[in-house]
């Protein structure tokens, strides 16, 4: 097993816990830390829509709409290329809001 595979496996196992940490950071008014943590989460779960949703929310709450739109565009591109599907309507709706770069 390569170190990347081990890292991805670790993220997959810890994903729900990391998601909870991101949600708590957002609820606690710490969007910059939430964004850093969510970025880590998305790196290990590149097709996971809930992780991308958290990252979008975190970037949106930092007041950086262009950064908030990036995870959606990246996920949409990856989902189309790898699975031939579109992101969930919830993600698309969030991406269309002004705070998320529309």
Q: Read off the CATH number of the domain in which 38 is found.
A: 1.25.40.10
Measured CA to CA, the distance from residue 70 to residue 72 in angstroms comes to: 5
pLDDT at residue number 86: 93
pLDDT digit of tens for each residue in the chain (102 aa)?
Answer: 665 555 555 555 566 788 889 999 999 999 999 999 999 889 888 899 999 999 999 999 998 878 888 899 999 999 999 999 999 988 888 887 776 655
Task: Show the tokens assigned to 46.
Answer: 């590149």
Looking at the 3D structure of the chain, how many domains does it have?
A: 1
pLDDT at residue number 68: 84
Measured CA to CA, the distance from residue 20 to residue 8 in angstroms comes to: 18
Task: Show the tokens assigned to 81.
Answer: 């290329």
Q: What range defines the domain where residue 62 resides?
A: 3-100
Which has the closest alpha carbon to 8: 46, 54, 36, 35? 46
């Amino acid at each position: 097993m390569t170190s990347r595979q081990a890292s991805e496996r670790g993220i997959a196992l810890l994903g729900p816990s990391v998601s909870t940490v991101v949600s708590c950071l957002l609820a606690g008014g710490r969007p910059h830390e939430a964004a850093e943590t969510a970025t880590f989460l998305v790196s290990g779960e590149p097709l996971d829509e809930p992780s991308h949703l958290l990252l979008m929310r975190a970037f949106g709450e930092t007041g950086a709409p262009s950064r908030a739109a990036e995870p959606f565009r990246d996920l949409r591109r990856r989902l189309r290329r790898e699975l031939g599907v579109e992101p969930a309507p919830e993600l698309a709706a969030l991406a269309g809001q002004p705070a998320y770069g529309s």
